[in-house]
Amino acid sequence: MSSNAEIASAASRVLLSNYRQAPIALARGRGSELWDADGKRYIDMYAGIAVSTLGHAHPGLTKAIADQAASILHTTNLVFNEPSIRLAEKLVARTRQTSGAAPLLTRAFFCNSGTEAMEACVKLARRRAFLAGESRRTRFLAFHQAFHGRSMGALALTGTPKYWEGFGCDVERVTHVNYGDTDAVRIALDTKPGEYCAIVVEPVQGEGGVLPAPPGFLSTLRSLTTDHGALLIVDEVQTGIARTGKWFGYQHEGVQPDAIALAKGLGGGVPIGAMLVREELNAVLTPGSHGSTFGGNPLATAAALAVLDAIESEGLVERSAALGERLGARLREVAAAHPQIFEGERGLGLLRGLLMKPGVEARTMLVAARSKGVLLSVASERVLRFTPPLTITDALVDEACSLVDAAASTLDAPSSESTLRSG
């Protein structure tokens, strides 16, 4: 097998240079531990950015993928396939607010990524207004620092201008306001009455820096969208599938969205995205108006079914909430022990972040933690993000936090500016 260095060198010749990649190649994983091509062991505290819900080589997921591959991989959407129907049934059933209540969202559209799920939501909102004869209702309201994906539609909603630069996407039709600022939302809607087709919001801004919505924010957005005839679209790509300690992030506040977007943790590592919508919106995307070759294919949906089954049978919704508290407490201890480096901790469930002190780059900490054997990601430039598999053990969480603490100690020492800023 090739070494990290050999793989990185080959990559530099053939891969498009659009990613900033760490100089390691992950070769295998088991549970929440990973090994690189040189045999170094890591604790997985990022789960491929909130994707590997069940960790690595989970027996149930592995078997479901192997069984489905041995049966039929792909069918097209010109016919039905049973795993996709079963998955839709399971997903919509989880959208109910309390057990025994009717599901809020009743219809599923499957695609292959979070971006595609958001793109479907964009098209749904625009097309709904078009079918209602409301030709002026084409504007979206979204939030600064929001991340919704990188296709031309989803990119326009994304609230970080550096991602749009040079692409000519339709940001003119999107109003971005500060996350949590209900007055700004109200003013924006009142200033252009009848123009907004939807508000798009994350329950916790993930890429924007692991920032949970302030209490009451989603409920206010719900009532404002209802008053203004716009849809409330909740982007659950990062927060959904038990990541925040509930099946979906919106359930923390009991709001009723019109549509949600899912991806990341849904397939546990197999690419799949989904848009779930209310029954009334089922008529908007008519045959031919939207679709996907791979969307909902038997392999991806069988994998997602296995993920949902394991979440249920292993009690991972509750585990995400409880372990999230434990991780949050440990990270607050780490932050308190290194006040020159960290400003504090924030997050929900197993979506957590350590906020860096101004002038200290999260990436520097990420590199230090990796050399100690902990894999993390960075959200915005100021937050070190923790999104471990929902199956991670208490012992590994504690070990990872001790290693991050040790990594921070290497940066603490004679607090030179150059140490804190080096990548």
β-bridge partners, 414: none
> Which residue, chain included where needed, has tokens 């296709």?
151
Q: Which residue lies nearer to ligand PLP by CB, 43 or 142?
A: 142
Residue with the shortest CB distance to ligand PLP:
114
* Closer by beta carbon to ligand PLP, 81 or else 205: 205
Pick 4 or 114: Cβ nearer ligand PLP: 114
Shortest separation between residue 202's beta carbon and ligand PLP, angstroms: 5
**Residue 211 or 404 having the CB closest to ligand PLP:** 211
Would you say 245 and 324 are in contact if contact means Cβ atoms under 8 Å apart? yes
Please count the residues of this chain forming the interface with ligand PLP, following the rule CB under 6 A. 14
Q: From 4-12, 39-47, 112-120, 241-249, give the range in contact with ligand PLP by CB under 6 A.
A: 112-120
Least Cβ distance, residue 266 to ligand PLP (angstroms): 10
Contact in structure between 247 and 319 (CB atoms under 8 Å): no
Cβ 112 to ligand PLP shortest distance, Å:
8
Q: Which stretch binds ligand PLP (CB under 6 A): 109-117, 131-139, 301-309, 378-386?
A: 109-117
- Smallest distance, Å, CB 113 to ligand PLP? 4
DSSP one-letter string for 72-106: -S---TTS--HHHHHHHHHHHHHT-SSTTSPPS--
Show the CA angle centred on residue 113, arms to residues 111 and 117, nearest 5°: 60
193 φ/ψ angles, rounded to the nearest 5 degrees:
-60, 140
Q: How far is the CB of 87 from ligand PLP (least distance, A)?
A: 17
Q: Of these, 83, 159, 206, 388, which contacts ligand PLP (CB under 6 A)?
A: 206
Smallest gap from residue 244 Cβ to ligand PLP (A)? 12
| 119 contributes a contact to ligand PLP by CB under 6 A | no
Number of Cβ atoms within 10 Å of the Cβ of 4? 18
Closest CA to 197 of 152, 133, 119, 138: 138
Contact status: 238 vs ligand PLP (CB under 6 A)? yes
Smallest distance, Å, CB 263 to ligand PLP? Answer: 4
Beta bridge partners, 377, equal 385
CA–CA distances in Å: residue 34 to residues 26, 62, 330: 7, 16, 22
CB 303 within 8 A of CB 289: no
Name the residue nearer to ligand PLP (CB basis): 111 or 420: 111
CA–CA distance, 244 with 240 (Å, rounded to integer) = 7
Out of 36, 119, 195, 235, name the contact with ligand PLP by CB under 6 A: 235
Q: What angle do CA 281, 149, 379 make, to 5 degrees?
A: 130
Q: Using the rule CB under 6 A, is 147 a contact of ligand PLP?
A: yes
Q: How far apart are CA 369 and CA 363, in angstroms?
A: 10
Structural contact between residues 383 and 50, judged by C-beta atoms closer than 8 angstroms: no
What is the identity of the amino acid at 69?
A: A
Structure-token pair, residue 160: 């970080």
Site for ligand PLP in 260-319 (CB under 6 A): 263
Looking at the Cβ atoms of 202 and 405, the one nearer to ligand PLP is 202
207 near ligand PLP (CB under 6 A): yes
Minimum CB–partner distance for residue 248 and ligand PLP (Å): 12
Dig out the tokens for 308 from the structure: 């949902």
Stretch that binds ligand PLP, among 82-90, 96-104, 202-210, 370-378 (CB under 6 A): 202-210
Check residue 164 for interaction with ligand PLP (CB under 6 A): no
Q: Give residue for tokens 């069988």.
A: 302
Please report, as ranges, the residues that interact with ligand PLP according to CB under 6 A: 113-115, 118, 147-149, 202, 206-207, 235, 237-238, 263
